Copies of this chain bind each other. A is one copy, B any other.
Amino acid sequence: MAEFLDEDAKQSIDNAKDLVVDSLAETMDLYGVTRSAGTLYGTMYFEGDMTLDEMRDQLGMSKPSMSTGVKKLQDFNVVKKTFRKGQRKHTYVAERDFFRFFANFFSYKWEREVDMNLEAIRTAQNQLADIIASENLSAEVIQEAQETYDILEQSKPYYYWLQRLAAMVKSGEIFDIIPFYPMNEEEDYGTGEQR
């Protein structure tokens, strides 16, 4: 009888975990990470180091899916390869500290945003500058080119700002400025180091 209760309890624990795993997956879905990659992350979050085969068993999916899923998670630095003693299979571990998850994930995305858009703006502005400098064009057309050029120019401060934010988040400096716990006048949690 006791074994039966134990089994029930184990199922209930798994159910509780699944609830959170699903929620984590939905969260990541919110940020453009596929649900299955999110589920994989959530599973690794609870299980700790895992091999691809263990993931496959746990999630009931194919091994290539696990491989690509892990790769995707590695791309934005929330999963890392680990070494398990005398283990032939590779093992992987998920970032368990959500502060670091946040820092890795968003600094990666924001850096990409900045690079991508500044590059597009640079190219577009060059094209527009040619038009603006050109003779033999109607004032109307030149004005439109100039207006477009200016709109792009005005957006630059945002990207420079985002660049600095990304750097502060990546380095952990943001956690000095906005500490883990609300600050009192008396106390000061900022330490300069990342958790």
* Chain A interfacial positions (CB closer than 8 Å to B): 2, 5-6, 9-10, 12-13, 15-17, 19-20, 22-24, 26-27, 29-33, 46, 98-99, 102, 109, 112-113, 116-117, 119-121, 123-125, 127-128, 130-131, 134, 136-138, 141, 144-145, 148, 151-152, 155, 157-162, 164-165, 168, 177-178, 180-182
Interface centre among A32, A125, A160 (most CB of B within 10 A): A32
Q: How far is the CB of A107 from chain B (nearest CB, A)?
A: 13
Interface SS majority for chain A: helix
Q: How far is the CB of A11 from chain B (nearest CB, A)?
A: 10
The docked-state distance in angstroms from the alpha carbon of A130 to that of B24 is: 23
Assess the A128–B164 pair: CB atoms within 8 A: no
Contacts A9-B131, A124-B16, A124-B17; A158 near B27 (Cβ below 8 A): no
Give the nearest-CB partner of A106 in chain B: B106
Q: How far is the CB of A32 from chain B (nearest CB, A)?
A: 3
B residues in contact with A165, CB < 8 Å:
178
B residues in contact with A13, CB < 8 Å:
127-128, 131, 141, 144-145, 148
Give the nearest-CB partner of A137 in chain B: B9
The docked-state distance in angstroms from the alpha carbon of A120 to that of B158 is: 35
**From B138, B164, B177, contact of A6 by CB (8 A):** B138
Give the nearest-CB partner of A96 in chain B: B151
Give the nearest-CB partner of A181 in chain B: B157
Q: A9-B145, A10-B141, A19-B120 are in contact. List 10 more A-B contacts (CB 8 A).
A: A2-B138, A6-B138, A9-B134, A13-B144, A15-B127, A27-B113, A30-B112, A31-B109, A98-B155, A98-B158
